[in-house]
Structure 1
Amino acid sequence: MMRIVTLLVVALGLQMSPAWSSSSAVDATTEESAEPLLAYSGRIAGDRARTRLVIDFDRKPTVDIRYISNPDRIIVDLPATVFSLDPETFGPVGLFSEVRYGSIDRQSARLVLTAARAARIVENKVIKDEADKGYRLVLDAEMVSQQDFDALVRGQNWLGEGQAATVAATTIDPATASDKFVIAVDAGHGGIDTGATGATTRTPEKDITLAFAKILHAKLMAEPGVVSVLTREDDSFLSLSERVTIARQNGADLLISLHADTLRQPEIRGATVYTISDRASDNMAAQLAERENLSDVIGGVVLTEEPSEVTDILIDLTRRETQAFSISLAQSVIASFQGQIGLINNPHRYAGFRVLQAHDVPSILLELGFLSNKEDEKLLLDPAWREKVATHLVDAIRRYKAPLMANGG
C-alpha cells in the first residue's frame, strides 16, 4: 500500500532530492582508495584577530577551502586522512569557537572551523617538513567584516557538493525488491560527526549505531519477504537529507534511524522510540531533536530550505497516513520491548527530527539507550544484548508488517 502511494507521489514529480551529497561519494564500482594520509600532530594558536592552524602529515595533502554561512564556517577538504591530533593543542582558540575533523567517505576527510566571528583564510601553504618527516599544512586566518564574509560565500560559486548522486551503502535491485518489504536501516552519525560519547569508555555513538545496524540488517535479510538496506556500512558521513533520499531511492517501506544519545541527567536510562511531529512531546524530546538536527552543521553541510512540496490534498493525506503508520510501528516496538528491553518512562515520544521528514516513508528514530548512563553504556557495548534487542526489533517489524502484507500493501 505504501509503495503504491510512493510511486504515485514520484510520478507527480514530488520526490525530494538531497540538499547535499559528497562530490566524492563512493560509487558501487569504485575501487578502494589508496592508504589514507596520517595527520599525526597539530596545533592552533592566536587571538580574535588572527589565528594560525598547523597540521603535520606523513605525506603531502591537497587542500580545498570553502566558506559556509548560517552558521559561519570555514571548510577545509582533504584526501582520506586518519587524524591523530591532541585536543589539548588542537582545539577551539581565537577566531574559532569549535573545531571538528574526521572522514567524510573513503576518499575524503574534512576540517570544519566554526567561526566565533567572521574570518577568512589569508594564507594557505603546504611545506615540506625540515626534518624530512612529511609535510606541514599551515593555515592563517584573519578576522573580516560580516559583509566581507558573506561576499566570500556568494563569490565562490559553491552551494554544496551536489554534483554526485547519493549512493547507499547497500543498494537493492528494483526487480528483486518489487515484491519485498524494504526496510532502510540508518546508523546515526558517522565520519566527522561522531555523535555522543560513552560516559566511561568514551566510545563514540557512531560506532555503536553502526555495529547494531549491521546486526539488525543481517537478521532482517534472513526474514522471508524482507529486504534490508544500510544507509552506511562504514565510518562515512551522510547528511540528514541523504539518509532520507537513500530510503526513497530503494523504495523503502520503513526507515529506522538508530541512535544512543547522552543526557545531562545520568540517572535516566532505557530505550525510547521517536516519531515526527511539528510539536515536541516534551522538553527532552525537543532538545534531543535539536541536537540530532545539528549533524549537518557538524559535517559542514550547506543548510538550505527544504524543497517546498506542492500543496495538494494527496500530499496531505499521504503525510497523515505515513504518520499513522509510523506511530503504529513505534507502538509495535514498545510492545515487543516491554518486559524484555529496558524502556524510559513514556517510551513513545515525538519531535521535529529531520531524518524522519519523508512524507511518504513511515519512519522512527530508536534511541537504544543513553551513553550518559553507565549501565546503559555497558549494555550498548555488549554483543549479546545487541543481539537480543535486534531480535525483539525484528519481531516488532514482523508484527507491524503482517496486516499490511495480508492486505496487499
Structure 2
Amino acid sequence: MSGLARVDPVASIIRDDGRTGLAIDLQLSQAVPYRVFTLDQPMRLVLDFREVDWSGVGSEALLSADRPSVWASAARFGIYRPGWSRLVIDLTGPMQVQTAEMRTSQETGLASLQLRLQQTGLDQFQAKTGSPDTGIWSQPEVVAPDRQAGQGPLVVVLDPGHGGIDPGAQQQGEVEAHLMLLFARELKDLLTRDGGFTVVLTRTEDVFVPLERRVSIAHAVGADVFISLHADALSEGQASGATVYTLSESATDAASQALAERHDRNDLLAGVDLSGQDDVIADVLMDLARLETAPRADNLADQLVVGLQSNIDRMHKRPRQSAAFSVLKSPDIPSVLIELGFLSDPQDLQNIKSASWRAKAAEGIRAALVEWAENDAARARLIRQ
C-alpha cells in the first residue's frame, strides 16, 4: 500500500458554485499539509500539497466535463518539486478564495479538502496574487513523535485555573484557584508514580499566569496533552457535577458560552503568530495544525468522561460539552478543560474539599490518559498505513 495520500478520482470535482463562485472538492485517503494562492498573467489558482498520488484522476473528469465550468477553463497536476505535488486551475476571470478547509474523519482517517472562491474585481485580485512565503514548504516532512507511536512517557501539562490576582470562583471561604492548585499537585504525584507520564504544572504557587503564557509553557515542554482544571460557581440557577470541555467556536449551550467568557480574560490565539499572514493563508495554517488535533482532543475528552464516571459519583447531566475557551486554542496539542464541579453546589463543594474524593477523581483521569494514549497510538498507526 502506498504511503502517499491518494486522490479519489470519483469523489473529487471542480465545479461552479452558483453564478459567481467556484468550488473545489478533493477527497483524499489521508490529510496532508497544503497551501492555496492565486497567480496572475494568466489568472490561475494554485494548490500545493505534500506529494499525493493522482492515479486514475483525469483533468476532464475533475472539471466535470459534462457541465463545463464558467470559471475554470483547465486543470493540470503533478509533482513540481521532490516531495510536493501541485494542482493548477486556469481561471477565466478574477476570483478570491473565500474559504479553505481540510476535514479529517475520526473513524476512517479519510480527508476532504474544500475550497470556495468568489468573483472579485481585477484590482482586488491583483493585490492578493503571489506565492506566500510561509517557510513551512522547505521543512522536512513531519514524523509522528515516538510518544504517539506508543513509546516514551506521555508529557502532560496540568493547568490549575486562575491564581494570584484572579482567584476564580469563591464560596464559603473556599477559593477556586487554591483548590485547583491542590488538586493539580495531587494529580501530578499520582501520574508521576505511575511511571508513564512526565507532568508539568503551569503554576506551582498562587500567582497569576496569563492565558497565553499557560499555552506557551505547554509548547515549550513539548506537551502531548494539555488539561486545564477548574471548579465554577453559579450566581443564578443550579448545576452540579463534573464536566469535560473541548474547544468549539460555538458553545454547546448558553451556559457553556457564559462559562467560557468568565474564564477568559483575553481573546487570544495562543501558540501561533499569524500577524504577518494573509487571512486565508492563516486559516490554512491553522487548519493544517488542527487536522489531527481536534479529533484527538475529542477522543481525549470522551475517555476522560468515562474515567471520571467510573470513579466519582457526581457528573454533570451533560458531562461532555464544548465552548470557546481561549486556553484550549493551541492548534497542535490536544487540549481539554475539566470542571470538577460547582463550588456553588454544597455537595460538589464538599467533594472537592475531600482528599478521598479528589484521589478518586485523579485516578479516573489517570486511567483515562492511559487508555487514550494507547488508542491514540493505534489510530496513528492506522492513518500512517
TM score, norm. by length of structure 2: 0.55
Alignment match, 1:164: none
- Aligned letter for 1:193? D
Offset, 1:335: 1.0
User: Counterparts of 1:304 and 1:356 in 2: how far apart (Å)?
Assistant: 10
Task: Name which of 168, 187, 206 aligns with 1:195.
Answer: 168
- Aligned letter for 2:295? A
Task: Name which of 207, 213, 217 aligns with 1:242.
Answer: 213
- Aligned letter for 2:168? G
Is 1:220–1:228's contact at 8 Å kept on the other side of the alignment?
A: yes
Is 2:257–2:323's contact at 8 Å kept on the other side of the alignment?
A: yes
Partner SS for 2:228: strand
Task: Name which of 294, 299, 307 aligns with 1:323.
Answer: 294
Query: Per-residue displacement from partner, 1:122-172 (whole Å, max 9, x unpaired)?
Result: xxxxxxxxxxxxxxxxxxxxxxxxxxxxxxxxxxxxxxxxxxxxxxxxxxx
For residues 60-79 of structure 1, what are the structure 2 equivalents within 5 Å?
Answer: none
Alignment match, 1:205: 176
- Aligned letter for 1:245? S
1:180 lines up with 2:115 in the alignment? no
User: Counterparts of 1:353 and 1:365 in 2: how far apart (Å)?
Assistant: 8
User: Counterparts of 2:260 and 2:378 in 1: how far apart (Å)?
Assistant: 35
For residues 266-277 of structure 1, what are the structure 2 equivalents within 5 Å?
Answer: 267-277=238-248
Q: 1:368 to 1:382 in 2, by over 3 A?
A: same
Q: 1:194 to 1:317 in 2, by over 3 A?
A: same
- Aligned letter for 1:225? G
Offset, 1:318: 2.6
Offset, 1:331: 0.5
Paired residue total: 226
Q: 1:250 to 1:377 in 2, by over 3 A?
A: same
Structure 1 unaligned spans of 5+: 1-7, 10-177, 297-302
Is 1:266–1:373's contact at 8 Å kept on the other side of the alignment?
A: no
Alignment match, 1:94: none
Task: Name which of 231, 253, 258 aligns with 2:202.
Answer: 231
Q: 1:288 to 1:346 in 2, by over 3 A?
A: same
User: Counterparts of 2:327 and 2:268 in 1: how far apart (Å)?
Assistant: 15
Partner SS for 2:246: strand
1:391 lines up with 2:363 in the alignment? yes
Is 1:337–1:392's contact at 8 Å kept on the other side of the alignment?
A: yes
User: Counterparts of 2:268 and 2:296 in 1: how far apart (Å)?
Assistant: 28
Spell out structure 1 runs of 4+ moving beyond 4 A: 303-306, 406-409
TM score, norm. by length of structure 1: 0.52
Offset, 1:404: 2.9
Is 2:244–2:336's contact at 8 Å kept on the other side of the alignment?
A: yes
1:219 lines up with 2:194 in the alignment? no
Query: Per-residue displacement from partner, 1:19-71 (whole Å, max 9, x unpaired)?
Result: xxxxxxxxxxxxxxxxxxxxxxxxxxxxxxxxxxxxxxxxxxxxxxxxxxxxx
Offset, 1:205: 0.4
User: Counterparts of 1:343 and 1:228 in 2: how far apart (Å)?
Assistant: 25
Query: Per-residue displacement from partner, 1:169-202 (whole Å, max 9, x unpaired)?
Result: xxxxxxxxx932100000000011000012xx22
Offset, 1:329: 0.7
- Aligned letter for 2:184? A
Partner SS for 2:185: helix
Task: Name which of 270, 277, 293 aligns with 2:264.
Answer: 293
Is 1:196–1:260's contact at 8 Å kept on the other side of the alignment?
A: yes
Alignment match, 1:401: 373
Is 1:272–1:366's contact at 8 Å kept on the other side of the alignment?
A: yes
Aligned-residue sequence identity (percent) comes to 37
Partner SS for 1:366: strand
Q: CA RMSD in A?
A: 2.5
Partner SS for 2:347: helix
Is 2:293–2:334's contact at 8 Å kept on the other side of the alignment?
A: yes
Partner SS for 1:259: strand
Is 1:266–1:372's contact at 8 Å kept on the other side of the alignment?
A: no
Alignment match, 2:328: 356
Alignment match, 2:342: 370
Partner SS for 1:347: strand
Offset, 1:280: 0.6
- Aligned letter for 1:393? I
Is 2:311–2:363's contact at 8 Å kept on the other side of the alignment?
A: no
Partner SS for 2:243: strand
Partner SS for 1:279: coil
